[in-house]
């Protein structure tokens, strides 16, 4: 069924605060959260990389890193106050190390997952930031969400793992733009990418096209005519398919459901996106009815058949 959600990616860096020594304090972020919530009424709100610990750079931020329990509790209070899922990245003290972390807190104030940047830059690791090793995906307010951070965009295994777990929205806090790498991830892996970066944030559609871009370096923001955040409404009930074995069903789907479904063919990539607009009708139900195979399923079947072929022929393989 149509599941429209509203997403805000906010370009903001608060002043420095030592959350480790002085206790977690999100008062400066709260002012911005309240403003965005009042003006935009989003379902999800995402801030830039290590936002709450970035004021004096990585070295100071590492010393100021809080533990996730106390930090998530404060984010949770704010999420409940504005009735919006919040993604406010931080440096996190965990298991005797410090991680570049993305906690995702739902609108009820509950921590649903923590992503710890799998691929910190060499500079980060030299400063003492520990690499994470998991790529969690979880349900947040009815939407499957995940995260990646900045330099992670160079490593397709992160995007592939998010896709394997059927993430629909991926939050990507960053210290650079990402550009075509994010467009590639969205189109290839079939999720919305939400980029939060202080100069300019963005939301990328599942078809790889930018839906919104705006931040502190956007001309109209610098002139004071617009606020420094990007906002987009998206349909979370949408799925990515390959045209192979599926394309012959497209005319029948359209004939039966007409404007209640949206079919977007992406050529020359050979993909298409299917979305439902009808209450009570999900993309999964349409796929089952017409025996559609998702891109994820199709590629997994291809790999399985390739492996079986090699086993039968006893060809050398690596």
The tens digit of pLDDT for each residue in 259-311 reads 999 999 999 999 999 999 999 999 999 999 999 999 999 999 999 999 889 88
**pLDDT at residue 59, rounded to an integer:** 80
Average pLDDT, the chain: 95
**Mean pLDDT to the nearest integer, 192-206:** 98
Instruction: Say whether both 15 and 103 belong to one domain.
Output: yes
Q: Is the pLDDT at 60 greater than 90, yes or no?
A: no
Backbone angles phi, psi at 303, to 5 degrees: -65, -45
Its pTM stands at: 0.95
Q: In this prediction, what percent of the chain has a pLDDT beyond 90?
A: 90
Looking at the fold, whether 268 and 296 belong to one and the same domain comes out as yes
How many distinct structural domains can be found in the chain? 2
**In terms of domains, do 229 and 267 share one?**
no
Confidence of residue 204 (pLDDT cuts 50, 70, 90): very high
Mean pLDDT of 252-261: 97
The pLDDT of residue 11 is 98
Q: Is residue 316 part of a domain?
A: no
Structural domain includes residue 93: yes
Q: Does residue 207 have a pLDDT over 70?
A: yes
- The answer to whether residues 191 and 265 belong to one domain is no
The band of 1, judged by pLDDT with boundaries at 50, 70 and 90, is low
Does the pLDDT at position 318 exceed 70? no
Q: What is residue 317's predicted lDDT score, i.e. its pLDDT?
A: 62
Q: Are residues 176 and 289 in the same domain?
A: no
């Amino acid at each position: 069924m149509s599941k429209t959600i509203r997403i805000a990616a906010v370009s903001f860096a608060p002043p420095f605060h030592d959350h480790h020594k002085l206790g977690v304090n999100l008062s400066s972020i709260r002012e911005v959260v309240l403003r965005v919530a009042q003006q935009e009424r989003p379902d999800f709100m995402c801030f830039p990389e290590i936002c709450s610990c970035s004021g004096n750079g990585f070295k100071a931020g590492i010393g100021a890193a809080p533990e996730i329990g106390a930090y998530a509790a404060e984010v949770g209070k704010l999420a409940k106050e504005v009735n919006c899922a919040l993604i406010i990245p931080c440096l996190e003290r965990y298991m005797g190390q410090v991680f570049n972390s993305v906690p995702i807190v739902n609108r009820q104030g509950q921590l649903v997952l923590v992503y710890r940047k799998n691929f910190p830059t060499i500079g980060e690791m030299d400063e003492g930031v520990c690499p994470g090793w998991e790529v969690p995906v979880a349900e947040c307010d009815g939407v499957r969400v995940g995260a990646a951070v900045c330099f992670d965009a160079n490593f397709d295994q992160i995007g592939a793992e998010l896709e394997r777990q059927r993430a629909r929205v991926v939050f990507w806090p960053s210290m650079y733009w990402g550009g075509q790498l994010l467009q590639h991830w969205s189109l290839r892996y079939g999720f919305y990418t939400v980029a939060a970066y202080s100069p300019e944030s963005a939301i990328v559609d599942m078809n790889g096209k930018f839906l919104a871009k705006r931040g502190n370096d956007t001309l109209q923001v610098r002139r004071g005519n617009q606020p420094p955040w990007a906002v987009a409404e998206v349909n979370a009930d949408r799925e990515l398919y390959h045209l192979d074995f599926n394309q012959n069903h497209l005319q029948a789907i359209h004939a039966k459901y007409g404007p209640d479904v949206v079919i977007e063919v992406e050529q020359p990539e050979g993909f298409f996106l299917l979305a439902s607009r009808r209450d009570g009708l999900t993309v999964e139900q349409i796929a089952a009815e017409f025996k559609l195979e998702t891109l994820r399923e199709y590629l997994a079947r291809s790999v399985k058949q390739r492996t079986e072929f090699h086993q039968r022929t006893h060809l050398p393989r690596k």
